[in-house]
Chains A and B, each alone.
Chain A
Amino acid sequence: MKRYLLTVLLAVFALGGIGTYYVHGAVHPLPAYRIAVTEGDEALFDRLVVTAFQSHPSPPRQLEISLAGSEYEHERSVFDIRRSIHPLEAELGVHARRFLRGKWASPVNFYLDGQTVVYAETQDVPAADGRADVFVNVEMMDLESGKRSDFRVLLESGVAGLWPYVADVQRIGEELHLFVEYGGEYRVYVLAMDGRLVRMVQVSLPPAVLEGERDGSVRMSLAANHRPQDPKSVVGILVKIYGTREDGTDPADGGQEAPAGGTMTGESAGDLGDPPGLTRMDAGDGPRLQRIDLYVYDYAAEDVRPAGRYELGGSTEQWYNLMTGRHHVLYRYGENGLEMLRMSLADGGVERFVYTAEQLGGHPVRTFTREGHLYVLTHAGDGSLEGAGITVLDLDRAAVAARAVVAPANRAAEDPAVTLLLEDFALR
């Protein structure tokens, strides 16, 4: 063995050095965090992941924080691959893997009623003259037996430029209704279950009127639905009207303090301060949103009717929206809190709710909506864990459904010199 001393020493040096490095890393881990639920149903946070940057005195390192703990981006390898199929996997049961294969589109392309799942996606087939024929591919499956069927229907021929895309799928009796956005217009294609195109309904809105305003412009978009795959009777259409007042002044948001309670108020809009960079619009140059009219397309009546109106008085802020079964919600957030306008789909009445940063547990930094809930990510703004958390609002009840905080999960994270900046969050 003495003969091989050089080789043995080199091997001990090589493996010992690298081994010690990784043992040292295990004994002195980087700061770790976890999401700790403080109020409400933990299931609301099951798939939630917060993206953050941990830094000072060390270099900034990106990490993801969940109920299970935290994981640094630079520590992820192929051994950490997560099985990932589709957000609707759980709802499709045992046949999910087979049915969802190759279907990358969002839930708006699906219809699920507990017995049947339908998937519809448009496809253009280019012709020699540069135009295209647009087809819709429909695939259906019986959720119990797993029996599948599919067909393809020609929707439009000789299309140039803008392609139609599916925005909602409904099954009504023995017909499929495909709500399609097509070059700024909305159409509903009604198909028989044997793959015939029965009729096409042009969704016509009354001309938008710029009441008492000038230099206005109108923009249309579909209302986001909290569960697009569910059976529903209507689809929401937002008509946004921008403009300045007749006297030429730019109406601004109100300037009163937000009320202490997150309850309904008739007061003018609270001063929420500057929204964070993500949503900021330049007040000098940005378009001023005067009002939003909500229309609904009724699948049964095959007609459009007005559902209500939001008077926004020249807002330059970014407003987000979501439609639940009973309400349509419009909300914006800023450094000091969150303002929510909730319209009843039954009578068009609008209620206003304001949640201050104090009520939310910190300054809002990001939001997203899912299944009738509004998730608000908050932080302290100074990199400390004070105020770092998530508040979940139930939009139908207009009440806090659950709360969670980002908490240290090891001693390194408790070091006051360590900072954690929350960046974004999402349901995985």
Chain B
Amino acid sequence: MKALLKLIHFEVRRFRWFLFGLMAMTALYQMAVTVVYALGERALRMPDPGRDPETIPGPMSVYHLLSRHQETYALPVLVCVVSLLLYAFLIWYRDWLGRGAFIYRLLMLPQPRAYLYLSKLAAMLLFIFSLLSLQLALLLVIEGIFSAIMPAEFRLEARFADLVAGNELIAFLLPVSPKVFLQYYGMGIVLLLAAFTAILLERSRRPAGIVLALAYAAAMLVIPFGVILAGATGLYESLGLYIHEIIWTAVGVWLAGGALAAWLGIRVLNKNVSV
């Protein structure tokens, strides 16, 4: 277990500056735009003798601020999402492509090679969840900034759940229900496992491995798209499946796909990737 923790720590340390950079960028950007937008909204509401009182907008909550500027608040979140998607590949390839082919040292460690696979998976999840956690903290900061700038008479209270709902991308990444959170991130983990396995397949049979990895990736696409395609083509109806059976079939296909990806990835790492 300590060996696994050591490997996870190793992965975290390698990514820490980039992670902190993403965090700082998100925090500074969202706080700055909140100051700008809140000042603008306050100016619109301040008494002005030259203005028709009818044109003065009513009070607003931070929810309204977030929902009116969807793209602005979503932009740094999108940058983080894309960065992590790219790093899901880089986390493996940097070991091969970096100085001195570091993978040789990792593969010769006395611990089981499965630990390598698991440590990279755990590190990726840690990065994802810490960025989500930061976004939650930032929403509180945004609310604080808004409350500090907007006078109380122009301000409506908002529940924390409403702050999250204010931005569609944030609401998607942080669903209100923990069950939906488990569902989304469970599906995400399956896709991450599939990506890891495709990378290892490619690395195991270079250059023919590219074909193998692409074939595997295409086969894994059956999971998200096959389930939808089966519904669209009327396969479920012709099989006479009831709706709960269709959904449990889809859940079973996802779980089986995840288990297969993990098993195959670890097996390839153990047997087919050599120094």
A residues at B contact (CB < 8 Å):
3-4, 6-7, 10-11, 13-18, 20-22, 24-25, 28, 30, 57-59, 61, 72, 74-85, 101-102, 104
Of B126, B157, B182, B242, which one neighbours A77 at CB under 8 angstroms?
B182
A3-B9, A10-B12, A85-B242 known; A74-B177 Cβ under 8 A: yes
A6-B12, A7-B126, A10-B126 known; A58-B247 Cβ under 8 A: no
B137 at the binding interface (Cβ < 8 Å): yes
Name 16 extra pairs, CB < 8 A, besides A57-B156, A58-B63: A6-B9, A7-B9, A7-B13, A7-B126, A13-B133, A13-B134, A17-B129, A20-B136, A25-B160, A30-B161, A57-B61, A59-B162, A59-B166, A81-B244, A81-B248, A101-B240
Rounded to whole angstroms, the CA-CA distance of A13 and B9 in the bound complex is: 15
Q: Tell me the count of chain B residues lying within 8 A, CB to CB, of chain A.
A: 48
Kindly list chain B residues whose C-beta atoms are within 8 Å of the C-beta of A3. Answer: 9
Whether the pair A21, B175 counts as a contact (CB closer than 8 A) is no
Whether the pair B130, A10 counts as a contact (CB closer than 8 A) is yes
Question: What are the 10 closest A-B residue pairs judged by CB atoms, nearest first?
Answer: A17-B133, A102-B240, A14-B129, A75-B177, A14-B130, A77-B179, A101-B240, A7-B9, A77-B183, A77-B180
* CB-based A-B contact count at 8 angstroms: 120
B71 at the binding interface (Cβ < 8 Å): no
B218 at the binding interface (Cβ < 8 Å): no
Report the minimal beta-carbon distance from B189 to chain A, rounded to whole angstroms: 15
Kindly list chain B residues whose C-beta atoms are within 8 Å of the C-beta of A74. Answer: 171, 175-177, 180
Rounded to whole angstroms, the CA-CA distance of A16 and B130 in the bound complex is: 9
The A interface is mostly helix, strand or loop, or mixed, namely helix
| Residues of B152-189 contacting chain A, CB below 8 A | 156-162, 165-166, 171, 174-183
Chain B, Cβ-Cβ closest to A20: B136
Kindly list chain A residues whose C-beta atoms are within 8 Å of the C-beta of B181. Answer: 18, 22
A3-B9, A7-B12, A84-B243 known; A76-B130 Cβ under 8 A: no
B251 at the binding interface (Cβ < 8 Å): yes
Whether the pair B136, A25 counts as a contact (CB closer than 8 A) is no
Interface membership of chain B positions 100-120, coded 1 if the CB is closer than 8 angstroms to chain A and 0 otherwise: 000000000000000000000
A58-B158, A59-B162, A59-B165 known; A18-B244 Cβ under 8 A: no
Rounded to whole angstroms, the CA-CA distance of A12 and B160 in the bound complex is: 21
Chain A, Cβ-Cβ closest to B137: A17
Kindly list chain A residues whose C-beta atoms are within 8 Å of the C-beta of B130. Answer: 10, 13-14, 17
A11-B126, A77-B183, A82-B244 known; A4-B9 Cβ under 8 A: yes
Kindly list chain A residues whose C-beta atoms are within 8 Å of the C-beta of B147. Answer: none
Kindly list chain A residues whose C-beta atoms are within 8 Å of the C-beta of B195. Answer: none
Of A17, A77, A79, which one neighbours B132 at CB under 8 angstroms?
A17
Kindly list chain B residues whose C-beta atoms are within 8 Å of the C-beta of A14. Answer: 126, 129-130, 132-133
Report the minimal beta-carbon distance from A421 to chain B, rounded to whole angstroms: 17
Report the minimal beta-carbon distance from A258 to chain B, rounded to whole angstroms: 39
Whether the pair A24, B160 counts as a contact (CB closer than 8 A) is yes
Whether the pair A18, B132 counts as a contact (CB closer than 8 A) is yes
B80 at the binding interface (Cβ < 8 Å): no
Could you list some 16 contacts between A and B, CB below 8 A?
A: A7-B5, A7-B8, A14-B126, A17-B129, A17-B132, A18-B181, A58-B162, A61-B165, A74-B176, A75-B179, A77-B179, A78-B247, A78-B251, A82-B244, A84-B244, A101-B242
